[in-house]
Structure formats: C-alpha cells, structure tokens
C-alpha cells in the first residue's frame, strides 16, 4: 500500500512539474510575442517615417494637396493608421474577382465597372484603394504578387504569334514577379496641360525600384478643385533587366520617359524602339493579381 501511495505521489509530482513547465513556457511565449509585436510596430514606424521623407513622395503630396501642409500631414497620419491586416484581407478578396486579368484577358477597358454585383462593388473598392490610399499601397509594395499580363494579351496581332511570344516571355523572364521593397532608385516626372480645360494639368510620376520595376502614379490637378491620384496597377521591366545584366547607372529612367513621350507625339519616332532595343526588346508588363499569402491573417 505504501509503495502504491509512493508511486502515486511520484506520478502527481511529475504531472505537476510538467504543467508548471507548460505554464512557464506559455508565459514566456506570450511575453516573447508581446515583445515581438512592439518591435514590429516600432520598426514599421521607423520605416514609415523614412518612407514619407523621400523627395518623390513629398513632390507628389505637394502637388496633390497644392502645398497645404496641414492636409498633407493629416493624409500621412491617416494612411499610417490604416489597419494593414484588414486592408490586405479586403484587397485579396477584391483581386480574386476583379484583377486586371479577369477584366477581359488583355482588354484595358474598365469593363468590370459595368458588371454585376458583387463584381461592380469590388471593382470600385479596388480602384478606391489605389486612388484614395495610394500612399499606403506604395508603402506595402512587397506584399503584392504580380503576373505577366502579356500572356493573356491576345486581342491585337496574330493570335498564334502572340501566344508563342507570350510563352517565350514567361519561360525566359518568369510568369510571376514580386517587388521586394519600396526603395526607389530613380524617379522622373512628365507634365502636360489639357488641350480642352485650361485649368487642368496632368502629371505622371515614374518610379524605378531597386529591383528594376517601373511604376507610374498619375495625378490630375484642377484649379480650385481637389486633385485626383491613381497608382497604376501595372509594373514594367525590360528583358535584360530581369537578368541583371546592367549596372544601375546604365538604365536612365528619364530617357525611358522621354522616349515614351516622343512616341505619343509622333508615332514614327524611333526613340522608343532604339531604347527598347538597348534593353532587350519591348518592356514586359506585369499586373497585380493577388496578395502574398504570408501577409494574410488566415
């Protein structure tokens, strides 16, 4: 009987010790998670503060809010306070239904804006993120996944030729693409005035990321009215840039912008063709189609 009691005591002590270890371990885990949360939040604040101090960000904000410092600060604070997890979760849902690929397999018209509910609703909500919350979207570039859009662009030219070229591009340069940071190596600005409305001016900010992606932000300013902004959901890169065959100084973004402008003014201008040839052919176009799963709270 004594042996049985002794054995039970030993078992109970072992069990209690086990639960004590679990409790200590759990407490430590919670503490670590709490510490990790605060570190992450501080890191985000530091990154955000550095991000909004960049010259091109300040130029865009100054144009959009017409130099109103109070409005600029209010907008920056509002963008920082957005719930990242909620924003990304909603974006992933919108993109499931209304990404550019589903908009017509290469058709650049906004056809989904006229589609049935919930497509129409998601379309406007998605558009709203990249126009109203463009600063937040630009800060979170690395959370988006892109797909080669030209693979689905079979509405111009010979279908078989386009299909062969699309497959070749996918194999040689990758069907999918990711932007690894919001660091911008170069930026350039193009300005034009409306031919009809004398009070309207258009700006296009072109941004070259550290990993060779070209983004565009369009701004329309109207005298005595709020400006409109749109972060374009396409990114461009060149075939040779995908293979990192050039030093960064070789690719001059300003030359790319001037070549595109020359073509819009004169369809026979050789500038863009010459520029394209230098970097391996026509630029590859990728579009946002989903949120990277590791950033989703599933």
Band of residue 149 on the pLDDT scale cut at 50, 70, 90: confident
Question: Taking 80 as the threshold, does the pLDDT of residue 234 lie above it?
Answer: yes
Estimate the share of the chain in helix, then strand, then coil, as percent rounded to the nearest 5. 55, 20, 25
Residue extents of the structural domains in the chain: 22-51, 54-295
What pLDDT score was predicted for residue 22? 33
Antiparallel, parallel or unpaired: β 214-222 and 200-209: antiparallel
Antiparallel, parallel or unpaired: β 214-222 and 225-231: antiparallel
Question: Taking 50 as the threshold, does the pLDDT of residue 94 lie above it?
Answer: yes
pLDDT per residue as tens digits for the range 196-225: 878 899 999 999 999 999 999 999 999 989
What pLDDT score was predicted for residue 58? 97
Band of residue 31 on the pLDDT scale cut at 50, 70, 90: very low
What pLDDT score was predicted for residue 2? 41
Q: Which residues contact 223 (CB under 8 A, 6 or more apart)?
A: 199, 200
What pLDDT score was predicted for residue 34? 45
pLDDT per residue as tens digits for the range 269-288: 789 999 999 998 989 999 99
How far are the Cα atoms of 16, 18, 33, 186, 264 from residue 7, in angstroms, in the given order?
A: 14, 16, 39, 74, 90
């Amino acid at each position: 009987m004594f042996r049985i009691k002794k054995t039970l005591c030993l078992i109970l002590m072992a069990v209690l010790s086990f639960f004590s270890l679990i409790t200590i371990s759990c407490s430590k885990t919670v503490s670590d998670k709490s510490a990790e949360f605060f570190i992450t939040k501080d890191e985000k604040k530091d990154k955000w503060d550095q991000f909004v101090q960049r010259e091109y960000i300040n130029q865009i904000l100054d144009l959009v809010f017409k130099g109103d410092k109070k409005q600029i600060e209010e907008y920056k604070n509002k963008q920082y306070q957005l719930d990242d997890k909620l924003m990304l979760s909603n974006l992933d849902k919108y993109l499931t239904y209304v990404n550019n690929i589903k908009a017509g397999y290469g058709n650049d018209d906004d056809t989904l804006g006229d589609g049935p509910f919930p497509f129409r609703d998601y379309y406007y909500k998605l558009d709203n993120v990249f126009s109203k919350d463009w600063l937040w979207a630009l800060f979170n570039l690395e959370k988006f996944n892109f797909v080669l859009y030209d693979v689905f662009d079979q509405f111009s030219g010979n279908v078989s030729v386009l299909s062969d070229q699309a497959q070749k591009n996918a194999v040689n340069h990758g069907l999918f693409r990711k932007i690894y940071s919001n660091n911008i190596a170069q930026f350039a600005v193009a300005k034009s005035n409306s031919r009809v409305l004398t009070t309207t001016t258009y700006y296009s900010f072109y941004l070259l990321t550290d990993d060779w992606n070209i983004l565009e932000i369009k701004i329309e300013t109207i005298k005595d009215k709020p400006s409109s902004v749109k972060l374009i959901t396409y990114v461009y890169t060149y075939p040779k840039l995908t293979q990192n065959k050039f030093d960064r100084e070789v690719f001059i973004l300003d030359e790319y912008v001037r070549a595109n402008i020359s073509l819009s003014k004169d369809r026979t201008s050789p500038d863009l063709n010459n520029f394209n040839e230098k970097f391996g052919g026509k630029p590859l176009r990728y579009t946002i189609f989903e949120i990277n799963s590791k950033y989703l709270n599933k």
